[in-house]
Amino acid sequence: MLTSVDAFVNDIVESGASYDDMDRIYVQNKILALVGDENPVEAADQSRLAVVDALIETAINNGKIEDTQSAKDILNAQLMDLVTPIPSVVNERFWSRYQVAPEKATDWFYDLSQRNDYIKTRAIAKNVVFDTATDYGDIEITINLSKPEKDPKDIAAARNQPQTGYPMCALCMENEGYLGRPNSAARSSHRIIRFQIGGETWGFQYSPYAYFTEHAIFLNKMHTPMVINTQTFSNLLEIVTMFPSYFVGSNADLPIVGGSVLTHEHYQGGRHQFPMMKAKIAKQLNLNLPDVQAGIVKWPMSTIRLRSQNRSALVSAASVIHNAWVSYSDESVNVRALTNGERHHTTTPIAYRDGKDYILDIVLRDNQTSKEYPDGIFHPHQDVQHIKKENIGLIEVMGRAILPARLKTEMVEVQKYVLGQPNNMAPIHQEWADQLKDRHQFTVENVTEILDQEIGAVFARVLEDAGVFKQNAEGQQAFSRFIKTI
C-alpha cells in the first residue's frame, strides 16, 4: 500500500509538469519539508485531491502548519504547485496548442486549472443551480455556496498582518505563485497566460470559484482602474477574435452598478451562453451607423444589441451609444447624467460571436441614489432585497443570479412555513411568504418547484429594478427618446 507521500511523488513525476524519474528523491524531500516525515495520514483513495488532503492532515499532525483554513489553503497550493508547470512552460504549452486551434489551448489550460485545484471543483459542486421560466425566457439561478466562510482564527490573525500592499489586489499579476497569508489568498499554483491587446500586456486566467463553465478572467498587467471607453469595446472584440468560442464582457466602471473590483481593469468571459444572449430583438433600430445592425433586446435591463462583421464599425457604434448615454438625462423617468458634478451614467458591454458576425450588447447603467432608494434608484428595491440586495454586476445583467448562501437554509424554513409546519422563518421573508400562500396551494410534492419558480420571478423583478427604462409604455417611450439622440 502506497503512503500518501509515495502516491504524490508518483503523481508529480507522472504529471510531466517539471520533474522526471531521476527527480523522485528530490521531490519526496520537497514534500517532506512541507508536511514533516512522521505521523503519515493514509489517503481516503488514490485521487490527487484525496492524497493532498491526507498530506495536509499529516502536516497538521506534525506541527508544520496550524489547523486553520488559511494555513491549509496555503499548503494545498504549495503541494499543487509541484504538479503545475512553471509560468513560462504553461505559456509555451498553451500557445503551441493555440496554433492548432484556440479551443485546444483553452481546453488544456482549463483542465490544468482544475487538476491542480486552482479551480475549486469540490466547492463549486456545492452550489445550488436551477433554471426558471420568466417573461424574458429561462433565467439561471445559483445560490453561491462555494466560497468558504472565513475562519475566526484567520480573521484574528489578519488583524496582526502587516499591510504590505503586495499584491495590490486579488487581480494583480503579482499573485502568480504568491504564497498567501490570512488576508490574501494562496496562489502558489496560480498561472496566467500572457497576451497583447491594445498595445498592452494582459493576462488570462480562470476564476477559482467559477460561476459558469470555463469562467475566465482577462486582466490588465497594470493595476489601473476600471474604465469603459472606445478602447474597452475594441479590446472585447479582440478577445472574442482570439477566443471565438468565448463571450467576454466588462463590469461597469461606477460603484453600485459596477463589479466588486473597480480598482483593477479586467473583463470576464467563458464558454457559456447566458439568457440575455438568447433573448430576441424586440425592436429593430435605424441608428444611421454604417455597416451595423441594431435593435433593442427583449430584456429587463435596457440593452441595445449591435451586430456586424466589421469590428471597427462595431467599436464606433458602441462608442457613439456610450458617449450619448454618459451625458443623457430625462427627468421624467429619473434618469440623470450628473448630480452635483458627479457622473452617474456608464454601460456594461458584452461581446460574443455568431458565426462570422460579431455582437456587442450595450447595457445602459445609472448609479443614482435617492431618499426613497438609498441603495440605488436602479438597484434591487427594498421589497426584493430579502432575496437579493447585492450589486447587479456583469453576470447577473446577463441573466444568471448569484444569490447569497443564506438562502439555502432560509428557503427550507420558508418551505415549512408555507406548508403550515413549525419553522424558524426569517422575518424578512414574511410578507413574500404570505403572498405565496395566497397564490398557491402548497403540497410536499410541489413546494420546491413552486419556490424555485418564485425565486426566479423575484430575480426577474430585480433585473427590472436595475433597468433604466422600465418595461411599460412610459419607460419604452423614454427609451425611444434616448435612441433619437444617437
**What integer pLDDT is reported at residue 152 of this predicted model?**
53
Tell whether 46 is covered by a domain.
yes
pLDDT tens profile 356-376: 999 999 999 999 999 999 999
> pLDDT-derived band of residue 155, with 50, 70 and 90 as boundaries?
very low
The domain containing residue 48 runs over which residues?
A: 1-65
Q: Which amino acid is at 482?
A: F
Tell whether 142 is covered by a domain.
no
Tell whether 49 is covered by a domain.
yes
Strand, coil or helix: 200 = strand
Question: What phi and psi, each to the nearest 5 degrees, are found at residue 250?
Answer: -120, 135
pLDDT tens profile 381-397: 999 999 999 999 999 99
C-alpha–C-alpha distance, residues 259 and 147, integer Å: 17
Average pLDDT, the chain: 95
> pLDDT-derived band of residue 163, with 50, 70 and 90 as boundaries?
low
Tell whether 10 is covered by a domain.
yes
C-alpha–C-alpha distance, residues 404 and 390, integer Å: 9
**What integer pLDDT is reported at residue 150 of this predicted model?**
52
Q: Which three cell numbers stand for residue 362?
A: 450595450
**What integer pLDDT is reported at residue 158 of this predicted model?**
47
Tell whether 403 is covered by a domain.
no
Tell whether 182 is covered by a domain.
no
For the stretch 191-197, contacts whose Cβ atoms lie closer than 8 Å and that sit 24 or more positions apart, written own/partner, are 191/84, 191/85, 191/87, 191/90, 191/109, 191/112, 191/113, 191/118, 192/87, 192/219, 193/90, 193/91, 193/94, 193/95, 193/109, 194/91, 194/221, 195/242, 197/235, 197/238, 197/239
Quote the pTM value. 0.94
Tell whether 17 is covered by a domain.
yes
Domain count, the chain: 1
In contact, 323 and 331? CB cutoff 8 Å: no
pLDDT tens profile 166-186: 999 999 999 999 999 988 899
pLDDT tens profile 59-71: 999 999 999 999 9
Tell whether 55 is covered by a domain.
yes
From the list 217, 214, 210, the residue with the least C-alpha distance to 142 is: 210
C-alpha–C-alpha distance, residues 59 and 201, integer Å: 39
